[in-house]
C-alpha cells in the first residue's frame, strides 16, 4: 500500500493546521456599520471621552513598566523599554477575542469606568444591508454603533481599526527582519480588507477601515517618535507622559463611509445576480440618505428628541453566535482564512509577514532600534 500522502491530502493537512493555528490566535474583528439609516439623529461629540481613554491606556502601561512605586531607576536601554511597553500594552488593552475594546465598551455600555458616549445602536433588521438582503453577517448579525468623534460621524468599528488593527500594523512596521515601509502597510491593509477582513466575509470593502488602520499606525508611531512624542524618559530612566494623546490629531473625514464610499461585492464571482444585488443596495442607501435629509428638516425638535432618547438607551443586540460560542466563531473564521491562504497568493504574502499572532510585538531581537526622548522632569506634563 502506498503510504505517501496525495496532493489533495497535503492540502487538507495544510488547511487543518492553518485552521488550528488561526483559531487559537486572539484577534480583533471589527464589524460593519450603517451610517445612513439614522443620519438625521444628532450626536454629541465624543472626542474628549475617546482621548481620555487613550490617555488612561498609556498611563496604566507606564505605571506597569516603571519599577516599584517611584524612585527606582529604569536602567534598560531604549529598545528594551519600548519592547516592554508595547508587550504590556498588548496584554492590557488588546485582548478582546471578537471586538476591539472601544467598539465593545461603547456598544454594550458594560465596561466599568467608561464614560457614557452617545451612540446609536441599531438592530441588523433596521439596516440597509437587511433591506437589500445582503450577505449574512452584516444583514443578520452585529452592526457597530454610530458615534461622532472630532466632528466626524462614523461607526465605532473605525475605533477598533484605529486602536487594534493599527497596533499590529505598527508592530509589523517595527520588525527589523520584515523591513517594511509605510507604503507596504497601506498595501497589506488593502489586501486584508479585500480578502478575509472585509470583502470575503461581508461583501464590503471599506476604504474608511483602511484609513483608520493607517492613522492608527501613526498614533502608535507618535508614542515614542516624532518631534513631540507622547512618552519620554526622565533623568532616572523612568517613563514619563510628556503630552496626552488627542484623537483629533488622527481622525479624518474619511472615517465616514458616506465621505469615502464602500465597494460592495455580493459574490466573489462576478455574475449578473451579484451586480443586481449591489445596485439594489446602492439604491437603498440613496433612499435612506434622502429620507434622513428630509427628516432632519421636517421633524419637530420634541419628536426628534424622543427618537434620539429611545435609540441612545438601546444595548447592543448580542447573538448566541457572538456571546456564547466565541471559540466556535473563531474556528470557523480560521477555516475561512485557511482556505483563503490556499487560493490567494496576496493573502499568503500578508499572512506570512504577520505570522499567526500579529497582535504581539514579536521578539526583542527582531525590533528595530529606537531612540526615546530623554527629558528633565520639568518638561514632563499632562
Q: What is the pLDDT of residues 183-221, one digit of tens each?
A: 888 988 898 888 777 787 789 999 999 999 999 999 999
Lowest mean pLDDT among 53-62, 91-100, 161-170: 91-100
- The domain in which residue 238 lies consists of 27-331+358-379
341, part of any domain: no
Residue 113 pLDDT greater than 80, yes or no? yes
229, part of any domain: yes
Q: DSSP per residue over 70-82, as a string? A: SS----S-HHHHH
Average pLDDT for 323-341: 60
In angstroms, rounded to a whole number, what is the distance separating the alpha carbons of residues 30 and 24? 18
In angstroms, rounded to a whole number, what is the distance separating the alpha carbons of residues 135 and 350? 25
17, part of any domain: no
**Which residue is it, cell 440613496?**
286
Average pLDDT for 79-86: 96
198, part of any domain: yes
* Contact (CB, 8 A) for 66 and 74: yes
**CB count in 10 Å sphere of residue 199:** 20
CB-based contacts of 84: which residues, under 8 Å, 6+ apart?
A: 65, 76
* Contact (CB, 8 A) for 358 and 172: yes
181-186 long-range contacts (CB < 8 A, ≥24 apart) are 182/214, 182/217, 185/213, 185/214, 185/217, 186/210, 186/214
Tell me the whole-structure pTM to 2 decimals.
0.86
Q: Write the pLDDT tens digit of every residue in 226-235.
A: 889 999 999 9
218, part of any domain: yes
In DSSP terms, 208 is beta-bridged to none
The pLDDT-based confidence of 362 (bands split at 50, 70, 90) is: confident
The pLDDT-based confidence of 24 (bands split at 50, 70, 90) is: very low
How many residues can be counted in the chain?
382
Q: Write the pLDDT tens digit of every residue in 136-152.
A: 888 887 889 999 999 99
The pLDDT-based confidence of 130 (bands split at 50, 70, 90) is: very high
251, part of any domain: yes
Considering only CA atoms, give the Rg of the chain: 22
DSSP class of 69: T
- The structural domain count of the chain equals 1
118, part of any domain: yes
346, part of any domain: no
Amino acid at each position: 500500500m502506498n503510504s505517501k500522502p496525495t496532493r489533495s491530502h497535503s492540502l487538507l493537512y495544510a488547511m487543518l493546521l492553518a485552521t488550528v493555528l488561526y483559531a487559537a490566535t486572539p484577534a480583533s474583528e471589527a464589524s460593519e456599520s450603517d451610517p445612513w439609516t439614522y443620519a438625521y439623529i444628532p450626536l454629541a461629540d465624543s472626542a474628549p471621552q475617546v482621548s481620555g481613554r487613550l490617555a488612561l491606556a498609556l498611563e496604566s502601561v507606564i505605571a506597569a513598566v516603571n519599577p516599584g512605586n517611584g524612585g527606582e531607576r529604569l536602567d534598560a536601554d531604549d529598545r528594551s523599554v519600548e519592547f516592554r511597553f508595547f508587550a504590556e500594552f498588548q496584554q492590557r488593552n488588546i485582548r478582546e477575542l471578537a471586538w476591539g475594546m472601544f467598539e465593545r465598551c461603547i456598544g454594550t455600555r458594560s465596561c466599568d469606568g467608561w464614560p457614557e458616549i452617545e451612540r446609536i445602536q441599531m438592530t441588523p433588521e433596521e439596516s440597509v444591508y437587511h433591506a437589500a438582503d445582503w450577505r449574512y453577517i452584516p444583514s443578520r448579525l452585529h452592526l457597530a454603533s454610530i458615534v461622532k468623534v472630532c466632528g466626524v460621524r462614523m461607526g465605532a468599528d473605525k475605533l477598533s481599526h484605529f486602536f487594534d488593527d493599527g497596533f499590529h500594523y505598527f508592530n509589523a512596521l517595527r520588525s527589523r527582519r520584515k523591513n517594511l515601509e509605510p507604503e507596504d502597510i497601506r498595501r497589506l491593509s488593502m489586501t486584508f480588507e479585500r480578502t478575509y477582513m472585509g470583502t470575503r466575509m461581508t461583501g464590503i470593502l471599506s476604504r474608511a477601515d483602511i484609513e483608520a488602520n493607517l492613522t492608527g499606525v501613526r498614533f502608535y508611531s507618535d508614542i515614542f517618535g516624532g518631534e513631540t512624542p507622547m512618552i519620554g524618559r526622565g533623568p532616572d530612566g523612568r517613563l514619563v507622559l510628556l503630552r496626552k494623546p488627542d484623537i483629533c490629531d488622527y481622525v479624518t473625514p474619511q472615517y465616514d463611509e458616506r465621505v469615502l464610499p464602500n465597494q460592495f461585492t455580493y459574490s466573489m464571482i462576478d455574475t449578473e445576480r451579484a451586480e443586481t444585488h449591489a445596485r439594489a443596495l446602492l439604491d437603498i442607501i440613496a433612499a435612506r440618505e434622502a429620507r434622513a435629509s428630509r427628516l432632519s428638516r421636517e421633524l419637530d425638535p420634541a419628536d426628534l428628541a424622543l427618537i434620539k432618547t429611545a435609540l441612545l438607551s438601546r444595548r447592543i443586540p448580542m447573538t448566541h453566535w457572538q456571546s456564547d460560542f466565541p471559540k466556535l466563531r473563531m474556528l470557523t473564521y480560521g477555516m475561512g482564512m485557511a482556505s483563503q491562504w490556499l487560493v490567494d497568493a496576496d493573502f499568503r504574502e500578508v499572512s506570512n509577514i504577520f505570522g499567526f499572532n500579529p497582535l504581539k510585538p514579536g521578539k526583542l531581537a527582531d525590533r528595530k532600534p529606537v531612540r526615546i526622548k530623554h527629558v528633565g522632569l520639568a518638561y514632563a506634563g499632562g
